[in-house]
Amino acid sequence: MSEENLKKVDIKVLVTSDKLKASIVLIQNQNGVELTSENVINALKANRVTYGIDEEAIKRLVENPVFGSPVVVAQGKPPGRPVDGKLIYHFDVKREIKPKELPDGRVDYKDLGIVQNVRKDDILVTMIDPVDGENGVDVFGGVIRGQKGKKVNLPRGKNTYIDADGHTLKAACDGQVCIIEGKVVVLNTLEISSDVDNSTGNINFVGNVHIKGSVLSGFKVVAEGNVEVDGIVEAAEIEAKGSVILHKGITGMGKGKIVSQKSVIAKFIENATVLAAEDVQAEAIIHSDIKCGGRLILVGPKASIVGGSCKVGREVDAKTIGSYLSTSTEIEVGVDPLMIERYREIKGEINELKENVKKCDQAVEVLKKIEAAGKITDDKREMLQKFTRSKIVAQERLKSLQQEQEEIEKRLEERSEGVVKVQDVIYPGVKITIGNVCKIIKEPVKYCKIYRQDADIKIAPYSD
Res 270 pLDDT > 90: yes
What are the residues facing 203 on neighbouring strands? Answer: 221
pLDDT of 296: 96
In angstroms, rounded to a whole number, what is the distance separating the alpha carbons of residues 51 and 22? 10
Same domain, 176 and 246: no
- What is the share, in percent, of the chain residues with pLDDT greater than 90? 58
CA–CA distances in Å: residue 146 to residues 67, 131, 132, 134, 413: 36, 10, 7, 5, 82
More confident residue, 23 or 368: 23
pLDDT of 188: 84
pLDDT of 384: 83
- Asked whether 399 and 393 are in contact (CB, 8 A), the reply is no
Q: Is residue 306 part of a domain?
A: yes
**pLDDT interval class at 2 (50, 70, 90):** very low
In angstroms, rounded to a whole number, what is the distance separating the alpha carbons of residues 58 and 46? 16
Q: Is residue 81 part of a domain?
A: no
CA angle 449, 454, 460 (to 5 degrees): 20
Same domain, 279 and 314: yes
Q: Is residue 318 part of a domain?
A: yes
Helix H or strand E segment including 349: helix 337-372
Same domain, 306 and 201: yes
Helix H or strand E segment including 315: strand 315-321
Q: What is the pTM of this model?
A: 0.65
Same domain, 133 and 239: no
**pLDDT interval class at 1 (50, 70, 90):** very low
Residue range 303-324: mean pLDDT, rounded: 95
Res 98 pLDDT > 60: no
Q: Which domain holds residue 53?
A: 3-75
Burial class (CB in 10 A: 0-12, 13-18, 19+), 123: middle
Same domain, 304 and 200: yes
pLDDT of 95: 63
pLDDT of 437: 85
Res 97 pLDDT > 90: no
**CB atoms near residue 62 (< 10 Å):** 17
**Structural domain count, the chain:** 4
- Asked whether 322 and 331 are in contact (CB, 8 A), the reply is no
pLDDT of 161: 95
More confident residue, 202 or 1: 202
Same domain, 138 and 199: no
Helix H or strand E segment including 400: helix 378-413
Q: What is the pLDDT of residues 397-437, one digit of tens each?
A: 888 888 888 887 776 665 557 899 999 999 999 999 987 78
CA angle 205, 207, 212 (to 5 degrees): 75
Same domain, 280 and 214: yes
In angstroms, rounded to a whole number, what is the distance separating the alpha carbons of residues 118 and 138? 53
The domain boundary, picked from 187, 213, 235, lies at: 187
Q: What is the pLDDT of residues 335-363, one digit of tens each?
A: 777 777 787 888 888 898 888 888 888 88
- What is the share, in percent, of the chain residues with pLDDT greater than 70? 93
pLDDT of 372: 81
The domain boundary, picked from 148, 169, 187, lies at: 187
pLDDT of 282: 95
Q: Is residue 343 part of a domain?
A: no
Q: What is the pLDDT of residues 146-196, one digit of tens each?
A: 899 999 999 999 999 999 999 999 999 988 888 878 899 888 888 899 999
Same domain, 35 and 97: no
**pLDDT interval class at 206 (50, 70, 90):** confident
Same domain, 114 and 234: no
Q: Could you tell me which of 285, 289, 302 has the C-alpha nearest to residue 259?
A: 289
The domain boundary, picked from 40, 75, 110, lies at: 75
Q: Is residue 319 part of a domain?
A: yes
**pLDDT interval class at 114 (50, 70, 90):** low
Say which residues have a Cβ less than 8 Å from residue 71's Cβ, sequence separation at least 6.
23, 24, 25, 26, 57, 61
Measured on CA atoms in the order 447, 427, 307, 457, is the torsion positive or negative?
positive
**pLDDT interval class at 50 (50, 70, 90):** very high
pLDDT of 129: 93
pLDDT of 177: 87
Say which residues have a Cβ less than 8 Å from residue 179's Cβ, sequence separation at least 6.
93, 155, 157, 185
Q: Is residue 162 part of a domain?
A: yes
pLDDT of 197: 92
> What's the per-residue H, E or C state across 427-457?
CCCEEEEECCEEEECCCCEEEEEEEEECCEE
Written as one string, the DSSP assignment of 153-176 is ---B-TTEEE-TTSSEEEESSSEE
In angstroms, rounded to a whole number, what is the distance separating the alpha carbons of residues 313 and 295? 7
Same domain, 245 and 276: yes
Same domain, 395 and 279: no
Residue range 95-100: mean pLDDT, rounded: 57
Length of the chain: 464
* pLDDT, averaged across the chain: 88
Same domain, 61 and 90: no
Q: Is residue 80 part of a domain?
A: no
Q: Is residue 344 part of a domain?
A: no
pLDDT of 382: 86
**CB atoms near residue 18 (< 10 Å):** 12
